[in-house]
Amino acid sequence: MNCLICDIAILYRPSWRSLFLNDAETVVCASCKRKFERIDGAVCGKCGLPGEEMCGDCRHWETTEFAGLIESGSSLFQYNDAMQAFLHQYKFLQDVALAHVFGEDLKTAFRKSENVLVPIPMNSKKLKERTFPQVDRLLDAAGLTYSHFLIKSEDVQGTKTKAERMAAKNLFAWNGEKVPKKIVLVDDLYTTGTTMRQAAKAMKDAGTEEIRFLTLIRG
């Protein structure tokens, strides 16, 4: 098959591991994969930002009404040029096949988790523009099960400044279904933390007791 990003043919060599463990055939070539920068080493325990025990944004959040809502959070990759190009093609050019690029990474990240995965939803206007729910498709590509408990407001965060995004209110509402005690919120990109805190507050108010999160990318 060809790489989903550069379209160059991928030479697939079956191994004993792939035969016995049913490892998925790779969908992205090694050259493209190397361009994505994994997050390793010391990170903020609340949001996964590399290099700090607790970053400035999280220190701010812990002085607000959102203090203590999130147990911990992490992200898999840095937002670099390669990831920016991937997101543009996946989200804005509606190339849903690219959901499979990080399928194995997400499957590995959640392999030992027993918490219920809760994708961050899109509002109806954004869903109509993008044509498919991007976080859901990422989880589908990883073969992971998930449940929806949140409804997104029509407020669009992407057009706002950082200060405006962090001051936003009531971005999510609970959909009324019985919520699990322990969840992991899942999104594609973490920037200011507003989305996660707002989603966590809606879930906590609905009865969830332990909230963690994971995003594919840390902006």
Measured between alpha carbons, how far is 202 from 208 in angstroms, rounded to an integer?
9
Q: Does domain 37-218 have CATH number 1.10.3470?
A: no
Residues 191/161, Cβ–Cβ less than 8 Å:
no
Which residues face 43 on adjacent strands? Answer: 50
| DSSP classification of residue 91 | I
Residues 195/186, Cβ–Cβ less than 8 Å:
no
Predicted pLDDT of residue 20:
47
Phi first, then psi: what are they for 108, rounded to 5°?
-65, -40
Whole-number Cα distances in Å, 54 to 34, 42, 51: 28, 10, 9
Residues 147/183, Cβ–Cβ less than 8 Å:
no
E strand or H helix at 129, and its extent? helix 124-130
pLDDT tens-digit profile of 12-52? 665 554 444 444 457 889 899 999 999 999 999 899 999 87
pLDDT tens-digit profile of 163-204? 666 667 789 999 999 999 999 999 999 999 999 999 999 999
**Extents of the domains making up the chain:** 1-35, 37-218
